[in-house]
Amino acid sequence: MKPHTPLIAASLALALAFALTAPVAADAVQLMSAPVTIATPQENANLVARLTALDGRQGLTNDYSFRISSQHPGVVGQKITRAQHTYKGLRVLGSESVVVTNAAGDIVSVSVADRRPGVEPQASTPGMPLPPALPATADLTPAISADDAIRVAVQAIAPGGTHRWPPSAELLIYPVMKTVRAASAATKPEEQLNALDVQEVVDRYALAYLVQLRMALNGKVIYYDVVVDALSGAIIAQWPALKTVIGSGNSQYNGVVPISTSATAGGFQMLDSARGTGGQFGGMAITNANHSSPNNPNPGSIYTNSSNTWGDGKQYSGGSTTDANGQTAAVNALWGLMNTYDTNRNVLGWQSLDGNNTATYIAAHVGTAYDNAFYDDSCHCMYIGDGNSFTSLGAIDVIGHEMSHGVTAATADLIYAGESGGLNESNSDIGGEMVEAYARAGGTGAVVPASGNDWMMGTEISKSGEPLRWMYKPHKDGSSPDAWSTSLKNLDVHYSSGPNNRMFYFLSQGSKADPASDYYSAFLTRTPAAMTGIGNDKAYRIWFKALTTKFTSATNYADARNKVLQAAQELYGASSKEAIAVQRAYAAINVGADVDEQAGDGGGGGGSGGDAVEQVRNGGFESGATGWSGSIGVITANSAQAPYEGTRYAWLGGNGRRSTETLTQQVQIPATASSAQLSFALHIDTAETKNIVYDTMTVTVAPAGGSGATATLATYTNLTPAAGYQLRSFDLLPYKGQTVTLSFSMREDRSKQTSFVLDKVSLLTK
C-alpha cells in the first residue's frame, strides 16, 4: 500500500532490460563469492521454469525452452548462470540468457541475445521486421547423419589429419545473420557509418550440425568449428577454434621470482596446491612436455627438483629439459600462472579460469624450437614452445593472455570469428596486460596497479624488440585497424581485436588532443578533446563484470559497448565519470556517440556531433505535474520511497486494489534528429508471491492525434521486481519529424500491491 514498507529484494528481471545494483563507492572493491555449489536438477528446473514464464508472458509456446550450460560465482551472495535458448528441443546457436540470481534463487538481472525463430524483435527497434520462420516441423529432421557431417568437415579442414580429441557433431538451429542499417543511417556514406548505425539481424535459419574438430597435421594443431547444413551437407560457416598467440615471454624476463611449490619425498615439485583444486594434477601444475610433438602434445609429468631453487634465468639452449637451463621455462610458466590466478582472485574474487577454482596446468617445452603458445579448452590447459624466431614463449603477458582465453571459454564463450572473435582476443590482451601490471608490482593487494604494464603484447619474446600488438595504436602492426568499420568482421580475430584494445587503453589511460600523437582519436569531438582515463583497476572491473555477467557468445562491438556501459553504471552510478569514460572510450573507436566529460547523456545512442536536446518537460517530476497529464496524483515526494535523484518521482501502483493509473506527455522529435534516445529509471516492488502476472505497467509511444499505430516499447509486471532503480533505454529515431505521446500505464488487480516507481524520464535528441 502507499506508503508501505521498504521495497523487497529482487526477483525476476525483464529480458528487455538490464538490472542495476546499488552503485558502490568509486574506490570500493566488489569481490566475487566463494565457488558456487553446483545447482541441483530441481534448482535448475526452477530457474528454467521462471525463464519460461517470461516467455509465456510474451505469448511464446512450449516449443521454446532453455538449457543450463554453465554456472559461476557472482558478487557475494549471487550466482551467474548461462542458459542456452532452445526451439523444439534444439539449441539456437548464439541465442542465450545470462542470469544473475541472489542467494534465495531470485533473479536479479538477465542479459539476453535472442535469435530464436518467431520471437518478436527488440522493442528498442520499432519497425524492424520479424525474423523469418523455420521450415515446417518435418524439416527439422536431418537428411544426413552426425557422422556424415563430421566427414564433410574433416574433408574441408584437414583430410589427412589425426584427431587429438574425438570429434563431435551437435544438431542445432543456426541463425544465418546479415547486417542492416538503421533508418537514420540509410543514406550515410559507408566510411561515415558508426557501429550503432547498423544491426545484425537473422536473414534465415538453417537446421545444421555444429562440428567441433580438434586435430593435428604436419606438426600443427588444427582446431576448427564447422557448421554443416543438416539437409544438404553444405558447409555454411567455419572458424578456427584454437586460441593462440605467436610469441610471449619467460621467467628469464623477470629475474628472481618467488614460486609456490610442494614438498615430495625426494625434494620438490611444481605443484601449487594453494591455487585451485581438482583438475588433472590436483592443483596448479607445470609439466615437462619434453619436446612432445605439437601434433599431439603430451603434457608429461610435473617438474621435480632435489632443491627448491629452480632455473638459471637464461634462454633455453636446446639441451636437457630438466637441468637448470631446462627448468627456466617452467619457472616462467609457474610465475605467470600464479600471477594470473592471483590477479583475478585478489582483485575480483574470481578463482581460477572457471570461477569455481578448478585447477589447470601449463606444459613447457612443447615441440622443438616451437614458435607458439596456445590455450586448449579441451584440457583447460596451456602449452608453451621454446621459440625459434622468438625467444621462449612464457612471458607474463602471454601467459595472462592465454589463461584469459580460459576465462572467456568458461563464461561468455565468444564465438571465435567476426566481431565476437575479435572481442575474444581483445579480452585476452586485456587480461595479459592487467596480469603484467599486477605481477610487476609484486603480485599482492586487492587492486590492479595503475602502471607496470607496457600496453604492448609480446615485447619481451621478440628478438627484434618489436611487439606483436600495440594496444594504444593497433595499426602500428600493419594489419589491425584503430576503429570500427563494417569490414571489421571480415578480419582475422587477432586483428579485429585492435579497436577494442584501443578502447580499453583509452578507458584506463585516457587520450591526447594532438592529432600527431599515437594516443589521439579523431572521433572524440566533445569537450575536452582529450578524454580522461579511469585507471587500470576500475577499467578492468568494469570490463570483467560485462564479460562474465552480460556478454553472450554472439556479442559484437555495438552490443559490447552497451553492456560495458551497463556494467559501469551498475558499479559506479548511471551518471558517474566512469560511465561517461566508457561512452567516450567507445566513441573513440567509432562505436556510439561522444559525450561531454562534464555531464554525460546517460547512455545515448549512435551518431556523432551536435549538442543533445532534452525533449521531455519536467522528466524528474521536480516541478510537480508540470508537463504531465493523466493520473498526476501519483507524482509525490513520499519518504517511504527514495527518488532516483532529486526529491520527487512518480509512484504508479502500490495500492493493493483494482486500479489504473496513467502518465502521458507529448514530445516532439525534430525532423533533423540523428538520434532520439528515450530513457527512464524504474524501480519495481511487489507483494505478490505466485509466478503469475497480476499487475502490469506498459510503456507505449504513439503519433499524436491518432495518425498512427501505438507501439508498445515494454511491459513490466509483478514478475519483474528488482533491487534499486534500473535504467531503461529505447531508440525513438523512427519517429523523427513527429510529435508523439509517451505513455506509462499501470493496471493493478484486486489484492497484493505492486509498485512501479518512475523517475528521470528523458528523451535526448541530436
The architecture CATH gives domain 414-602: Orthogonal Bundle (1.10)
Most confident by average pLDDT, 53-67, 329-343, 587-601: 329-343
Are the beta carbons of 707 and 5 closer than 8 angstroms?
Answer: no
Q: What is the pLDDT of residues 184-206, one digit of tens each?
A: 888 889 989 999 888 888 888 99
Of 253-267, 301-315, 748-762, the least confident: 253-267
Q: Looking at residues 510-521, what average pLDDT do you find?
A: 96
Task: Report which of 350, 134, 358 is spatially closest to residue 230, judged by C-alpha positions.
Answer: 134
**What is the CATH class of 41-112?**
alpha beta
Q: Looking at residues 293-321, what average pLDDT do you find?
A: 90
Q: Is the pLDDT of residue 30 over 80?
A: no
Q: What mean pLDDT is reported for the chain?
A: 84
Start-to-end Cα distance in the chain: 41
Question: What is the pLDDT at residue 37?
Answer: 56
Q: Is the pLDDT of residue 495 over 70?
A: yes
Q: How confident is the model at residue 24 (pLDDT cuts 50, 70, 90)?
A: very low
Active site amino acids: 402, 494
pTM: 0.70
Is the domain defined by 146-183+193-240 classed in CATH 2.60.40? no
* b/e burial code for range 685-700 (CB count within 10 A of at least 16 → b): bbbbeeeebbbbbbbb
**What is the CATH class of 249-410?**
alpha beta
Q: What is the pLDDT of residues 365-393, one digit of tens each?
A: 999 999 888 888 788 899 999 998 888 88
Q: Which residues pair with 697 in a beta bridge?
A: 716, 746
Q: Which residues pair with 175 in a beta bridge?
A: 205
Q: Which of the pair, 118 or 302, is modelled with greater confidence?
A: 302
Q: Looking at residues 620-630, what average pLDDT do you find?
A: 92
The three cell numbers of residue 734 are 523512427
Q: Is the pLDDT of residue 292 over 70?
A: yes
Q: Give the three-state DSSP class for 584.
A: helix
Question: What is the pLDDT at residue 498?
Answer: 97
Q: Looking at residues 563-592, what average pLDDT do you find?
A: 91
Burial of 110 (0-12, 13-18, 19+ CB in 10 A): buried
Residues with Cβ within 8 Å of residue 499, at least 6 apart in sequence? 422, 474, 481, 482, 483, 484, 488, 557, 589, 590, 591
Of 485-499, 521-535, 592-606, the least confident: 592-606
Q: Is the pLDDT of residue 220 over 80?
A: no
Angle value at C-alpha 736, between 735 and 742, nearest 5 degrees: 50
Question: What is the pLDDT at residue 32?
Answer: 57
Task: Report which of 148, 157, 141, 140 is spatially closest to residue 226, judged by C-alpha positions.
Answer: 157
**DSSP assignment string, 345-394:** IIII--BTTTBB-B--EEEEEESSS---EEEETTTTEEEEE--SSBS-S-
Q: Which of the pair, 361 or 283, is modelled with greater confidence?
A: 361
Question: What is the pLDDT at residue 505?
Answer: 98
Q: Looking at residues 101-108, what average pLDDT do you find?
A: 78
Domain boundaries, the chain: 41-112, 146-183+193-240, 249-410, 414-602, 613-765
Question: What is the pLDDT at residue 56?
Answer: 67
The architecture CATH gives domain 613-765: Sandwich (2.60)
Of 211-225, 430-444, 453-467, 537-551, the least confident: 211-225
CA–CA dist 573, 22 (Å, integer): 8
Question: 249-410 and 613-765 share one CATH topology?
Answer: no
Question: What is the pLDDT at residue 521?
Answer: 97
Tell me the residue length of the chain: 766
Q: What is the pLDDT of residues 138-178, one digit of tens each?
A: 578 999 999 999 999 999 998 988 898 899 999 999 999 88
Are the beta carbons of 199 and 179 closer than 8 angstroms?
Answer: yes
